[in-house]
Amino acid sequence: YDTPFGSSTMSLDTHTIESSFGPRGGKMEVDYVVDFDHAIVGRNTFTIDIKEQGGEIADV
């Protein structure tokens, strides 16, 4: 990124992506590191659970 104060770099390094899906849903987990100017500033993990919904599709 170029700013009035100088340039910096930012990157994401994905460590793992795991997923398992079936006919009624599934799960996905992502683990990654955020790097700012070649220094690790955070490690994050998020999980998405997908489940079958009965009836009509909900308005999100």
Local confidence pLDDT in tens for the 60 residues of the chain: 888 999 999 999 999 999 999 988 999 999 999 999 999 999 999 999 999 877 666 665
Q: Where are the beta strands (DSSP E) in the chain?
A: 2-3, 6-7, 10-22, 25-36, 39-51
Query: CB–CB of 20/2 below 8 Å?
Result: no
The rounded distance, in Å, linking the Cα atoms of 40 and 32 is 11
In this prediction, residue 58 carries a pLDDT of 61
Tell me the β-bridge partners of 39. Answer: 36
